[in-house]
Structure 1
Amino acid sequence: MTGDVVRQWRAAAADDGAVLLDGFHALKHALRFGARVRIAATASRTDALVLARELAPDLAARLDALLVELPDRQLRELVPRRHPTGVAALADRADAAAVRAARRAPRTAPVVVLDNPRNLGNVGAVVRLAAGMAATGVVTTGDTDPWHPGAVRGAAGLHYATAVARLPLDGLPAAVPGPLYALDPDGEDLRTLRLPDDALLAFGSERHGISPALRARADRLVSLPMRPLVSSYNLATSVAMALYHWSRDAGRAGPGPR
């Protein structure tokens, strides 16, 4: 039985269409938001089902049927690092569905664009924010895969609660239409603007900001309020400030100055 589970896991993990759900909370959120989970393993079914009854009673029966137990040593061999909850799973990626969702019109919430992000933890934190704030989704440019296990771990599996995809910068306007608001220190103060529901809110890296290519495509440059001599905010903090500002006016008509 154990050998069959290990072989099934390794076969699924070798598929580029599979994504690692690292930990109980990642599996919980993936199931709640419709992920197709291929296999789920735990070092202790008893402990995992206790967590399910305490933290996700709506999923307890599904998890009872889904989870298979593996010796802790073998679970550690299958994952990059064992999550403290002793739970891991493999599920289908949802990139294509994400792009379709981001293209859907009329959009009722912004799409967050991360311009060539480098830190997987930051990408995951932004996805978690987007899911919590009911943004349409998160689109990244550059080489970093937003479905990398490190990003999925940082988002606690909430990639399935919003649209998450990677797109080339030059394909962005066609794939995800809408006015592009780029965060830049030289932009207009966010507090003087109303962000439209169909906006693309673009954020650069903490060190370099948005790229010249994205800056040239922007319909509007927007700045966050910041004390003099402070160089930058954390990426996730910047996204949170912008989405919160948008949420205060969600459902009200028209972009532009108040």
Structure 2
Amino acid sequence: MKLDAITSRDNPALVRLRKLAADASGYRKTGSLWIEGDHLLRAALQRGWRPALVVLTEAALQDPQLAALAESAPRALVVPVALFKALSGLESPAQIGAELSLPSQPAIDPAAASVVLDRLQDAGNVGAILRSAAALGFRQVLALKGTAALWSPKVVRAGMGAHFGLRLVEGLAADDLAVLSVPLVATSSHDSQPLHRVKLPAPCAWVLGHEGQGVSPALMARCALRVGIPQPGGEESLNVAAAAAICLYESARQQG
């Protein structure tokens, strides 16, 4: 590992990483990703990802565990806390971050248990859904155009490492889903059966819609099944990430 001490904010590598960290869709142009914190770096390493570059503070270098994480990259930059804060999207910045090279976007796996995101806007919702998908055995996430960038820093932070174990395909049109051989299932408050009373197909693709508008009519027409989540408390609707967790859990529960 090559270890460089950096004290200037004008260092070319730091300038590049600041731009990457500040641009939600910057990874699409650069093919690389900035992640912050030892949890995300460990999650990536556990899934076989290797960082191209690690940045850590001078204090982190004195921590044996963080210093060991830095050794996973061919090059590490050691910076003062003030320079690391300039890279951070957190109120309380971490002590270590890394740049990862993103592989090419995979093709859709027609037979995979999937989650389809239809124009979800909130990065926190998208990241939380990815986390639920990974935890409950849905290994493919398909995002239609208009959905928050899947690899944006905010979505990656909300995903808590789930990204590195998922097959992520974004920028899709509804017609692209025609290759799926698994049935599409959506939640709906109209013409739907209660979720807990329905025998769910397995595998399937759960369709989750825009926070305000729901699933588009064109995509809803493609769904083989519509289910509703009972809400005895009388609320109009659930947060989409909460609804996703309930639906994915029910699928996993029925499969035993």
TM-score above 0.5, yes or no: yes
Q: Contact 1:206/1:232 (CA < 8 Å) preserved in 2?
A: no
Q: Is the 8 A contact 1:10 1:78 kept in 2?
A: no
Correspondence for 1:55? none
Q: CA deviation at 1:242?
A: 0.8
2:24 paired with 1:19 = no
**What is the aligned-residue RMSD (CA, Å)?**
2.7
Residue among 82, 101, 111 paired with 1:92: 101
Q: Which residue of 2 aligns with 1:193?
A: 198
- Greater shift in the superposed pair: 79-88 or 114-123: 79-88
**2:52 alignment partner, SS class:** strand
SS at match of 1:197: coil
Report the equivalent of 2:23: none
SS at match of 1:213: helix
Unaligned runs of 5+ in 1: 53-59, 252-258
Aligned 1:171-210 pairs, distance under 5 A:
171-186=175-190, 187-210=192-215
Equivalent-residue separation in structure 1 for 2:92 and 2:149 (angstroms):
21
Structure 1 residues 198 and 95: alpha-carbon distance in aligned structure 2, compared to 1, 3 A threshold: farther
Aligned length: 237
Is the partner of 2:155 in helix, strand or coil? helix
Correspondences of 1:46-125 after superposition (within 5 Å): 46=61, 49-50=64-65, 61-66=68-73, 67-81=76-90, 84-94=93-103, 96-97=105-106, 100=107, 102-103=108-109, 105=111, 107=112, 110-125=113-128
TM-score, normalised by the number of residues in structure 2: 0.80
Offset, 1:173:
1.8
Aligned to 2:255: 250
Do 2:33 and 2:99's aligned partners in 1 also have CA atoms closer than 8 Å? yes
Q: Which 5+ residue runs of structure 2 have no aligned equivalent?
A: 21-25
Amino-acid identity (%): 25
**Residue aligning to 1:154:** 158
Indicate how the Cα distance of structure 1 residues 9 and 33 shifts in structure 2: closer, same or farther if over 3 A, else same: farther
Q: Is the 8 A contact 1:49 1:63 kept in 2?
A: no
Shift of 1:211: 1.4
CA distance in 2, matches of 1:237, 1:121: 12
- The one-letter amino acid of 2:174's match is D
Q: 1:175 Cα deviation (Å)? A: 4.7
Q: Give the direction of change, closer, same or farther, for the CA distance of 1:49–1:232 in structure 2 (3 Å limit).
A: farther
Higher relative helix content:
1
**SS of the counterpart of 2:221?**
helix
- d(CA) in 2 for partners of 1:40 and 1:152? 17
1:135 aligns with 2:149: no
Deviations 1:56-82 (A, max 9, x none): xxxx84544535421112222234446
Answer yes or no: is the 8 Å Cα contact 1:22–1:152 preserved in 2. no
Q: TM-score, length-normalised on structure 1?
A: 0.80
Q: Is 1:45 matched up with 2:50?
A: no
Q: Deviations over 1:21-52 (max 9, x none)?
A: 122211111111122422121223246544x5
Q: Secondary structure at the match of 1:34?
A: coil
Instruction: Determine if contact 2:7/2:79 at 8 Å carries over to the other structure.
Output: no
The verdict on how the C-alpha distance between 1:48 and 1:88 changes in structure 2, with shifts beyond 3 A counting, is farther
